[in-house]
Structure 1
């Protein structure tokens, strides 16, 4: 698109009669003007040396025609160029006054467009005085990373250059111009300052092609539930679904949609511990992936067999366009990735904050950003307009198995081979995604009722508790805090069935002890500190694929059974278990849920070390078996028997055992008062005859927040 130069009034009218006389009078000043204009329009603009380097703010410098010689035919062109440059200079001065008057450099939207996250809670970047991005190509000003004002002024100078250039040439085709590189910044500034965007003449073929491919009309957030069999996905995942007009009108037409996924750009060859540390501390960059939506959805539904929930975002088409334009500005940059604070979920909130600065979503989250917390926050802020449940392949097979077993109760024969064929992923290819051509994939509605796993319905992930109890002859008060996530006795709504993952939990115990007695516990002890503890249940008699296993890393108090009247001691403990689980009972009608009751038998191994126990260490192996029973929607019970055989090493003392059995039985019961409150009873009995206290019974109040 070209813009014709506006008519300019000059002192000498260029007519056939007066041309010669006029040209003689104007020759000297015109020659001077020609020399001044021979560089380009940038020479006329008051670009502060403190803000930019020479040529830095004139991305279209080569597109502005230069005057190589002064002659009669070029006089009017030179004068027009000079007038256009003066016009651009005047516009720049006006914009600068408006920016200063409105303090736009400190505007929340402008700072967010530059990745100044000074209002974001972060363990690593809280209150950082500069942009999170340190790539020079993201800034026009040399000081742009530290100074939002300098970068704003640089954009204004680039606008003025662009206007001057566009009025002196027929077309401007330069994808590296500021207008093409930063379309979201350009859009916001032109709207805020009332700049005629048509005057910023620039052809951006790469941007146009990208936007035409995505054809963004609507955005939705997709939530893929937690997947313990892959530690990186253990806390769930979120991404954005970009809908074109076709997929917005019919959500099943996913081949017309794209997925915008923010993930860690980690090294798959790194050891898990190295990978985890780098992912948490910013040692890796993030990677923005834009893929056809069917490809990304298939990874969760088919490969991982994770149910998904998709929520339409209540954004206008203009807001959607602005978000996608901002993604264009940042998609190829090196941005640090922090697993707990700057991740797939926080990035979605940051993008929404760009177009909805008044809601300030990022600042409303705790230091650790969890995908399900983001879903609940968006729901609380009334940004979620619609919810769609898409069952995984495993859930579709389970729904078929439930239906077949229900029919079998009506005297229809169902053999073991029939059951195997239904629940086997190899034999049963049923899926929520059609098996058509890659570019024609659609979502199939199997009529499955949504499971009780909508993350909006979850209890808050943090929980504080206070309990009173009796251990042996001593009474105590427990005070505890768990930062996440969920155990098998917690309120089940909103989570996948039998989900069990706890992280960063600690309990202090205050004993009412008599210090005059032998083997009395200390008045205050650290009862437990859990780094991570969880179990992944994949019942063998269901359609759910995978093994049943568990792992734990914690510091906990244990009774040393090697010595008579042994006291409990704080030890570091690492354990792993693997085995089988089974689901029993009648699942909810019409759903793909598994039966509600669960039993398990696990082979376990554990190592513990601490100064108080015999020889400072012990290793154990044995069996953990138990059942979890869902009595009703508010009441659950779990019973477990641990049968470890411990080994300390040989001892010369005949009264000290080097190895022994130490069975422990436990019972738990939780009643939910509401979504944020519960009462829990825990009872344990240690069957080892050498410990100082065998029984421990506690009643606790739990508050989720």
Structure 2
């Protein structure tokens, strides 16, 4: 009699198990819940055995599904470990013998201050850290209300678990080849905003997503499941941008990571994010900008007149001026603006840990001067002329060009994996910098194919001072590793080299132009000089001619190239739209070389 009583339930379970193994285990949502690569390659990105219920669940979605259904029928507490799996299987019509339970820890994390929406966050690039050259991506769970600041929202970070004080070269090597474990971690958003915006001085954009409350619940349930799970970290592709995008695709399908190039960076994901659709509407509901401490200071400074800016700078050097007629005779509005600007600069200097003793004295003097003025802030609203990262030039590049050398013409084809050069748009990127990896160009010349250029890594940061205030700006530097033909030296001249340079730069023309000087060192097979080591002095000029037209010129004198004279380079960039630009180039040393190039940018 007892056996007969449970026969219907057993039959129902058998039916669902059969249906699941043949259908649900191949469902895109189930594959995403297990972080399987795809249906044809059912291997999970997650390395932790503890994440899976089945002993071979890491490589077998069907086995993991059966084990999950069995677990929900035997142990109600498994609902608390896998709430997203449980939610989704219920939505597919499955029923379980164990009743629904209350998951205290999950409810405390998710519902004590309810999560009402989800955002993706982009932090701009940081040239002082190889891990952050391409910017960084976060997932933000919004809990803020009029009573609760958004700094108390949850932010989910995906990153490598790197030992303290890891050598930079070791980090890059292990990061490229999967030498680190990685995973998701949650922190209150103010920690990330403080680190990126206040310490590393990086601007932040937040893209709020158009998700329903049910979507938000499903996503947060899944984040609960994967917290603590371990992945292998690959700097090039399986990084923060890729895995956070995969989490969002649990809701929207493969709109962000489908047919990605071998190199995945945050800019690519945000470009696709802005054009993504969900439920016949734009996925992105709202974009908010948060300025870095550095951007805030420069806006305050720009709000001062030239005369008031000079006075503020004088006060920085001698705070006694705050109590002299030069300052005290000013109107209240001007005094407030100057003091507010100085307070912003004080905070910036404290972050950089410059002139600690001087800054402490200035800060006390500013407080004393401010206390005698009426309450209220004078600089209450500032407009930032900052475009969101999706409107930037796309990171990968294919080019076709015609090159003229000594009245002979060649057809050149080029490919660059990522990311931007000094003539590209500065939107959501570090201005006056260069970050190119795997830049290749071949030439068809006189019916023969030549490798013209192979730059593995080309980094450049001019790091100019955007104001005349102390400790603004820093050393300019550049690194380049690769191979290139030097036709402007001679037809057969080529070099396989590693180059590093250091120097200074200065802004002109309301920050629209820059001049720089560099001392460079070269090592490698330098055929044009018949040397293995060489040095050079380089002088250059970059400017925005009109609108977005950019021009760069440089001259470089090598120590050993006595017969070649001075190498001259000129390049003009004429943008057409976000996907195309035209470049005009000229080089000369002992011979001249002209080039007309069409660039196509893609992600």
User: 1:524 maps to which residue?
Assistant: 449
Instruction: Give CA-to-partner distance per residue, 1:138-184, whole Å, 9 cap, x none.
Output: 22222322221122112222222247xxxxxxxxxxxxx32221111
User: How does 1:377-392 map onto structure 2 within 5 Å?
Assistant: 377-381=272-276, 382-392=282-292
Q: Which residue is equivalent to 2:156?
A: 260
For 2:226, which of 330, 345, 353 is the aligned residue?
A: 330
Q: Secondary structure at the match of 2:540?
A: strand
User: Following the alignment from structure 2 to structure 1, what is the Cα–Cα distance between the partners of residues 345 and 550?
Assistant: 35
SS for the counterpart of 2:35 is coil
Question: 110, 114, 135: which is aligned to 2:48?
Answer: 135
Residue 417 of structure 2 aligns to a residue whose secondary structure is strand
**1:428 matches 2:346:** yes
In the alignment, what sits opposite 1:441?
none
- The 1:502–1:445 alpha-carbon spacing in structure 2 relative to 1, beyond 3 Å, is farther
Contact 2:130 2:168 in 1 (8 A): no
Distance in 2, matches of 1:468 and 1:641, equals 23
Change over 3 Å in CA distance of 1:220–1:545 after alignment to 2:
farther
TM-score scaled to structure 1, two decimals?
0.71
Q: Are 1:701 and 2:601 counterparts?
A: no
Q: Within 1, Cα distance between the matches of 2:426 and 2:309?
A: 33
1:152-301 equivalences in 2 (<5 Å): 152-162=65-75, 177-195=77-95, 200-212=99-111, 215-246=114-145, 253-301=149-197
Which residue among 533, 546, 571 is the counterpart of 1:632? 546
Tell me: CA distance 1:280–1:213, structure 2 relative to 1, closer, same or farther (3 Å). farther
1:605-646 Cα offsets, whole Å, 9 max, x none, are 222315x5565x432223221111111223111111112213
- Helix, strand or coil for the counterpart of 2:182? strand
1:547 corresponding residue in structure 2: 475
DSSP 3-state at the match of 2:303:
helix
Residue pairs, 1:41-190, within 5 angstroms: 88-99=9-20, 103-118=23-38, 128-162=41-75, 177-190=77-90
Q: 1:93–1:191: structure 2 CA closer, same or farther, 3 Å change rule? A: same
Count the aligned residue pairs: 547
2:395 paired residue number: 461
Out of 367-376 and 186-195, give the one that drifted further: 186-195
Q: Does 1:664 align with 2:578?
A: no
Q: Secondary structure at the match of 1:399?
A: helix
Query: RMSD of the TM alignment (CA)?
Result: 3.2
Distance change >3 Å, CA 161–CA 425, structure 1 → 2: same
Q: Which whole-Å deviations, capped at 9, do the CAs of 1:447-503 have from their partners, x for residues lacking one?
A: 332334421111221222222222234332222111211112224444342232111
Secondary structure at 1:505's aligned position in 2? strand
- Kept after mapping to 2: 8 A contact 1:645/1:661: no
Tell me: CA distance 1:545–1:316, structure 2 relative to 1, closer, same or farther (3 Å). Answer: farther
Q: Does 1:583 align with 2:507?
A: yes
The reply to whether residue 680 of structure 1 matches residue 583 of structure 2 is: yes
Post-superposition CA distance 1:569-596 (Å, at most 9, x none): 332211111221122223xxxxxxxx22
Question: Is the Cα contact below 8 Å between 2:517 and 2:539 reproduced in 1?
Answer: yes
Stretches of structure 1 that go unaligned for 5 or more consecutive residues are 1-9, 11-32, 34-43, 45-81, 120-126, 164-176, 434-443, 514-522, 587-594, 648-658, 687-692
Query: 1:60 is matched with which residue?
Result: none
Alpha-carbon offset, residue 114 of structure 1: 1.0
DSSP-derived class of the 2:480 partner:
strand
| 2:221 alignment partner, SS class | helix
User: Secondary structure in 1 aligned to 2:347?
Assistant: coil
The structure with the larger Rg is 1
1:116 deviation in Å? 0.9
Partner residue in 2 for 1:570:
494
Q: Answer whether contact 1:678 1:703 (CA < 8 A) is retained.
A: yes
- Structure 2 counterpart of 1:393, from 293, 302, 307: 293
572 and 99 in structure 1: CA distance in 2 versus 1, 3 angstrom threshold: same
- Partner Cα distance (2:121, 2:73) in 1: 41
Classify the secondary structure of the residue corresponding to 2:211. coil
Give, in whole Å, the separation in 1 of the partners of 2:547 and 2:211.
35
Shift, 1:272, TM fit = 2.6
Taking the aligned partners of 1:646 and 1:312, their CA distance within structure 2 comes to 57
TM-score (norm 2): 0.83
Shift in Å, 1:330: 1.4
| Cα shift readout 1:360-410 (whole Å, capped 9, x = no counterpart) | 432143221110111110101132110111111111111122222xx126x
Measure, in 1, the Cα distance between the counterparts of 2:413 and 2:309.
Answer: 55
SS across alignment from 1:632: coil
8 Å CA contact 1:646, 1:661 repeated in 2: no
Tell me the equivalent position of 1:644. 558
Cross-structure match for 1:408: 306
Distance 1:329 1:415, change over 3 A: closer
Note if contact 1:394-1:425 (Cα within 8 Å) is conserved in structure 2. Answer: no
1:412-561 map, 5 Å: 414=311, 416-417=313-314, 427-429=345-347, 447-512=381-446, 523-542=448-467, 545-558=473-486
SS at match of 1:429: helix
Q: Distance in 1 between matches of 2:174 and 2:46?
A: 18
* Structure 2: gaps of 5 or more residues: 277-281, 319-337, 352-377
2:298 partner SS = helix
Aligned pair in 2 of structure 1 residues 88, 283: CA closer, same or farther (>3 Å)? farther
